[in-house]
Amino acid sequence: MNGPENIPMPDGALETDVIIIGAGPAGLFAVFECGMLKMKCHVVDALEIQGGQCAALYPEKPIFDIPAWPKITGQDLIARLMEQAEPFEPVFHLGQQVETLTEISDGRLCLCTSNGTTIYARAVMIAGGAGAFGPNRPPIDGLAAFEGTSIFYLVARRDAFKGKRVAIAGGGDSAVDWALSLSDVAEHVYVIHRRDKFRAAPESVERMRALQSGGKVELVIPYQLSGLEGEGGQLSAVMVRAMDGNERKLDADILLPFFGLAADLGPIAQWGLDINHHQITADPATMETTRPGIFAIGDIATYPGKLKLILTGFSEAALAAHAAFKRVHPDESLHFEYSTTKGLPED
């Protein structure tokens, strides 16, 4: 990030009050907090769906430390946060990574993304968890030819796999959770893993093994991906190989490789922020970073005594929103009101 520049707004540029980088739990709740203070938000995320790690890594894994919810799954939590943010009409820019952030001479910030989107705002909140996420791709030939048509690293809509033969590769929560979920809609579900032990919630693994007994899920163990068959972007089969060299051909229309997501701060690391062990230092009273107008919330933010909990990110979103109000509405006094007395916009 450079110093203030006096540059004209390009054609097609967008304007808003606050740009939120990251559509995980903290970022989505920040939309609500900003909205309650009459600030509009645009949200940018490198993933193609909202929800961050909750949606990508453990959609059906129960979370136990969300206030008022003794138990809630990752995907249900995101659905509730989206519902809570909806009245404030956030604009989402998904599947694109933030690139440059320039400070304009009039006090605004100009953010550009990898898709060429340009957004101007008075404040920026970085809620990117551990940074931009990208999939860990399996080392097999011909992968790119099927990506986006037959090979997916995230599940945006479960119904898109209705009647399909789905091969899931991996042994973590995301692999097991989606095997359970897709078994209700897919024609057949394979779960390919290199060993019999899974790194997932024991209750979920037990349910998956029960589905195997009922013929709804087939565990392909111990095997690893070795090849692909198909043409025109459409898979017809997935090849797997065991440690002893034995090979199998699995008739499949879809491959979901769930080998985790690689996190990287990317261009954010070049924005002149105080970064310590891939985390951004923030003032715990306001969540503002060392650069005025730029805030950090959620797992990406650090300060003495920081707890990496979703509920901590919610609190930080509220603090950042109240601090950002002074930049978005510099001539207005903020008279804090409880939601019970203020209500929502449509009330």
Domain boundaries, the chain: 14-134+262-342, 137-259
List the CATH code of the domain at 14-134+262-342: 3.50.50.60
Identify the helix (H) or strand (E) that includes residue 327.
helix 310-328
Q: What is the pLDDT along the chain (347 residues), one digit of tens a residue?
A: 555 665 666 778 999 999 999 999 999 999 999 999 999 999 999 888 898 878 776 676 778 899 999 999 888 999 999 999 999 999 999 989 899 999 998 889 999 999 999 999 999 999 976 555 567 889 999 999 999 899 998 887 788 999 999 999 999 988 998 999 999 999 999 999 999 999 988 999 999 999 998 888 999 999 999 999 999 999 999 999 998 999 999 999 999 999 976 666 788 989 999 998 889 999 999 999 999 999 999 999 999 999 989 999 999 999 999 999 999 999 898 877 667 666 776 65
Residue 2 pLDDT? 52
Is the distance from CB of 134 to CB of 48 less than 8 angstroms?
Answer: no
List the CATH code of the domain at 137-259: 3.50.50.60
The residues, ordered by sequence, that sit 6+ positions from 199 with a Cβ below 8 Å of its Cβ are 171, 172, 173
Residue 10 pLDDT? 72
Q: 287 is written with which tokens?
A: 């969540």
Q: Is 239 left (phi over 0), alpha (psi -120 to 50) or beta?
A: beta
Count of helices and strands (H, E) across the chain: 7, 23
pTM confidence score: 0.72
Q: Do domains 14-134+262-342 and 137-259 have the same CATH topology?
A: yes
